[in-house]
Homo-oligomer: A and B are copies of this chain.
Amino acid sequence: MKKSLGPQTLAFPLPAYLVGTYDTDNRPNIMTAAWGGILASTPPCLGVSVQPPRWSHAAILKNQAFTVSFPSSKLAVEVDYAGIVSGKKFDKFKGASLTPVKSDLVNAPYVAECPVVAECRLYKTLELGSHTLFVGEILDIKADEGLELDGSALDIEKVDPLIFNRGGEYHRVGTGVGKAFSIGKSLIK
Protein backbone atom coordinates (compact mmCIF):
# COMPACT_ATOMS: atom_id res chain seq x y z
CA MET A 1 0.00 0.00 0.00
CA LYS A 2 1.54 3.25 -1.15
CA LYS A 3 0.94 6.60 0.47
CA SER A 4 0.04 9.76 -1.40
CA LEU A 5 2.63 12.55 -1.47
CA GLY A 6 0.51 14.92 -3.57
CA PRO A 7 1.35 16.48 -6.95
CA GLN A 8 5.12 16.98 -6.89
CA THR A 9 7.91 17.22 -9.44
CA LEU A 10 9.53 13.92 -8.58
CA ALA A 11 11.23 11.51 -10.93
CA PHE A 12 14.19 9.15 -10.65
CA PRO A 13 16.88 9.69 -11.74
CA LEU A 14 17.05 13.43 -12.43
CA PRO A 15 19.94 14.98 -14.36
CA ALA A 16 22.05 18.00 -13.54
CA TYR A 17 22.62 19.55 -16.95
CA LEU A 18 24.74 22.62 -17.56
CA VAL A 19 22.90 24.56 -20.29
CA GLY A 20 25.31 26.83 -22.17
CA THR A 21 24.32 30.02 -23.98
CA TYR A 22 25.66 33.37 -25.09
CA ASP A 23 23.57 35.89 -23.22
CA THR A 24 22.03 39.03 -24.65
CA ASP A 25 25.40 40.79 -24.18
CA ASN A 26 27.17 37.87 -25.94
CA ARG A 27 28.83 36.69 -22.75
CA PRO A 28 29.06 32.93 -22.16
CA ASN A 29 26.69 31.72 -19.47
CA ILE A 30 25.62 28.42 -17.93
CA MET A 31 22.49 27.39 -16.09
CA THR A 32 21.97 24.22 -14.10
CA ALA A 33 18.84 22.35 -15.19
CA ALA A 34 17.23 19.20 -13.85
CA TRP A 35 14.07 19.52 -15.93
CA GLY A 36 14.69 17.88 -19.31
CA GLY A 37 15.76 14.75 -21.12
CA ILE A 38 16.16 13.01 -24.45
CA LEU A 39 12.80 13.36 -26.23
CA ALA A 40 13.17 11.80 -29.69
CA SER A 41 15.50 9.68 -31.80
CA THR A 42 15.03 11.16 -35.30
CA PRO A 43 15.97 13.92 -35.20
CA PRO A 44 17.90 13.32 -31.99
CA CYS A 45 16.17 15.67 -29.55
CA LEU A 46 17.30 16.87 -26.15
CA GLY A 47 14.85 19.05 -24.24
CA VAL A 48 15.52 21.45 -21.38
CA SER A 49 12.87 23.47 -19.57
CA VAL A 50 13.60 27.02 -18.48
CA GLN A 51 11.47 29.57 -16.65
CA PRO A 52 10.85 32.73 -18.72
CA PRO A 53 12.41 35.10 -16.15
CA ARG A 54 15.68 33.12 -16.19
CA TRP A 55 18.65 34.80 -17.87
CA SER A 56 19.16 31.81 -20.17
CA HIS A 57 15.59 31.95 -21.54
CA ALA A 58 16.15 35.07 -23.64
CA ALA A 59 19.59 33.83 -24.63
CA ILE A 60 18.24 30.59 -26.11
CA LEU A 61 15.56 32.46 -28.03
CA LYS A 62 18.01 35.05 -29.33
CA ASN A 63 20.54 32.50 -30.58
CA GLN A 64 18.06 29.72 -31.40
CA ALA A 65 20.68 27.43 -29.90
CA PHE A 66 22.08 26.01 -26.69
CA THR A 67 24.50 23.37 -25.50
CA VAL A 68 24.11 20.83 -22.73
CA SER A 69 27.27 19.84 -20.89
CA PHE A 70 27.03 16.68 -18.78
CA PRO A 71 29.12 17.28 -15.66
CA SER A 72 31.04 14.58 -13.85
CA SER A 73 30.55 14.15 -10.12
CA LYS A 74 33.75 16.02 -9.32
CA LEU A 75 32.04 19.20 -10.59
CA ALA A 76 29.22 19.02 -8.03
CA VAL A 77 30.17 22.28 -6.31
CA GLU A 78 30.40 24.15 -9.62
CA VAL A 79 27.07 22.72 -10.81
CA ASP A 80 25.34 23.69 -7.59
CA TYR A 81 26.79 27.21 -7.82
CA ALA A 82 25.52 27.57 -11.40
CA GLY A 83 22.05 26.65 -10.17
CA ILE A 84 22.03 29.13 -7.28
CA VAL A 85 23.19 32.39 -8.87
CA SER A 86 21.97 34.21 -11.98
CA GLY A 87 24.03 35.02 -15.05
CA LYS A 88 22.42 38.44 -14.94
CA LYS A 89 24.57 39.29 -11.91
CA PHE A 90 27.45 36.79 -12.03
CA ASP A 91 29.97 35.61 -14.60
CA LYS A 92 29.34 31.98 -13.75
CA PHE A 93 32.12 30.55 -15.92
CA LYS A 94 34.60 32.77 -14.07
CA GLY A 95 33.02 32.20 -10.68
CA ALA A 96 33.18 28.44 -11.11
CA SER A 97 36.61 28.50 -12.82
CA LEU A 98 35.15 26.75 -15.84
CA THR A 99 36.20 27.23 -19.46
CA PRO A 100 33.71 28.18 -22.19
CA VAL A 101 34.40 26.69 -25.62
CA LYS A 102 32.48 28.08 -28.57
CA SER A 103 30.62 25.37 -30.44
CA ASP A 104 31.69 25.05 -34.06
CA LEU A 105 28.09 24.23 -35.02
CA VAL A 106 25.82 26.60 -33.10
CA ASN A 107 26.18 29.96 -31.43
CA ALA A 108 26.54 28.68 -27.88
CA PRO A 109 29.41 27.71 -25.60
CA TYR A 110 29.97 24.38 -23.86
CA VAL A 111 31.97 23.58 -20.73
CA ALA A 112 35.45 22.25 -21.47
CA GLU A 113 35.70 20.53 -18.08
CA CYS A 114 32.61 18.34 -18.70
CA PRO A 115 33.41 14.91 -20.20
CA VAL A 116 30.50 14.89 -22.68
CA VAL A 117 28.60 17.75 -24.33
CA ALA A 118 25.70 18.11 -26.75
CA GLU A 119 25.43 20.97 -29.26
CA CYS A 120 21.82 21.79 -30.10
CA ARG A 121 19.95 24.04 -32.47
CA LEU A 122 16.53 25.08 -31.23
CA TYR A 123 14.06 22.78 -32.98
CA LYS A 124 10.72 23.34 -31.21
CA THR A 125 9.34 25.05 -28.13
CA LEU A 126 6.37 24.19 -25.95
CA GLU A 127 4.89 26.40 -23.23
CA LEU A 128 4.21 24.38 -20.09
CA GLY A 129 2.90 26.77 -17.46
CA SER A 130 5.89 27.79 -15.34
CA HIS A 131 8.45 26.69 -17.92
CA THR A 132 9.22 26.87 -21.61
CA LEU A 133 10.37 23.53 -22.96
CA PHE A 134 13.18 24.15 -25.44
CA VAL A 135 13.65 21.08 -27.63
CA GLY A 136 17.05 21.07 -29.25
CA GLU A 137 18.12 18.99 -32.20
CA ILE A 138 21.44 17.44 -31.24
CA LEU A 139 23.82 18.35 -34.07
CA ASP A 140 26.81 16.70 -32.42
CA ILE A 141 27.93 14.95 -29.26
CA LYS A 142 31.51 15.66 -28.27
CA ALA A 143 33.34 13.64 -25.67
CA ASP A 144 36.74 13.43 -24.06
CA GLU A 145 39.03 10.65 -25.27
CA GLY A 146 39.03 7.31 -23.49
CA LEU A 147 35.40 7.16 -22.34
CA GLU A 148 34.31 4.35 -24.64
CA LEU A 149 32.76 1.17 -23.33
CA ASP A 150 33.24 -0.58 -26.66
CA GLY A 151 33.28 0.67 -30.24
CA SER A 152 30.64 3.35 -29.82
CA ALA A 153 28.81 3.52 -26.50
CA LEU A 154 30.24 5.59 -23.69
CA ASP A 155 31.02 3.93 -20.36
CA ILE A 156 28.81 5.64 -17.80
CA GLU A 157 31.26 4.79 -15.02
CA LYS A 158 34.03 6.62 -16.87
CA VAL A 159 31.71 9.57 -17.64
CA ASP A 160 30.83 9.53 -13.91
CA PRO A 161 27.79 11.81 -14.37
CA LEU A 162 26.20 13.79 -11.60
CA ILE A 163 22.69 12.76 -10.53
CA PHE A 164 20.33 15.25 -8.91
CA ASN A 165 17.86 14.30 -6.21
CA ARG A 166 15.21 16.93 -5.64
CA GLY A 167 15.57 18.42 -2.20
CA GLY A 168 18.47 16.19 -1.30
CA GLU A 169 21.99 15.36 -2.34
CA TYR A 170 23.83 15.00 -5.59
CA HIS A 171 24.93 11.44 -6.23
CA ARG A 172 27.29 9.48 -8.42
CA VAL A 173 26.37 6.51 -10.58
CA GLY A 174 26.94 3.19 -8.83
CA THR A 175 27.43 -0.41 -9.80
CA GLY A 176 26.15 -2.09 -12.95
CA VAL A 177 23.15 -4.40 -12.68
CA GLY A 178 22.96 -6.04 -16.09
CA LYS A 179 23.18 -5.50 -19.81
CA ALA A 180 20.39 -3.56 -21.52
CA PHE A 181 18.39 -5.26 -24.31
CA SER A 182 19.74 -8.55 -23.02
CA ILE A 183 18.92 -9.51 -19.43
CA GLY A 184 15.19 -9.25 -20.08
CA LYS A 185 15.27 -12.01 -22.71
CA SER A 186 15.19 -14.59 -19.92
CA LEU A 187 11.51 -13.70 -19.32
CA ILE A 188 10.37 -14.18 -22.93
CA LYS A 189 8.35 -17.37 -23.15
User: A residues bordering B, Cβ < 8 Å?
Assistant: 2-15, 17, 34-47, 49, 51, 68, 70, 73, 76-85, 90, 95-96, 116-118, 123-124, 126, 128-131, 133, 135, 137-145, 149, 152-157, 159, 161-189
Contact = CB atoms under 8 A, between A and B. Distances in A.
Copies in the complex: 2
Which 8 A/B pairs are nearest by Cβ-Cβ distance?
A37-B37, A80-B184, A174-B174, A153-B167, A81-B184, A12-B161, A40-B128, A2-B142
Contacts of A175: 171-172, 174
9 contacts: A8-B44, A10-B118, A10-B154, A13-B163, A45-B131, A156-B171, A163-B163, A163-B173, A169-B178
A129 B180 contact: no
A172 to B, nearest CB: 4
A142 B181 CA distance: 28
Contact of A183 (B80, B117, B124, B141): B80
Contact of A12 (B7, B70, B77, B137): B70
Chain B CB within 10 Å, residue with most, of A2, A51, A166: A2
Chain B CB within 10 Å, residue with most, of A35, A155, A169: A169
A43 B7 CA distance: 9
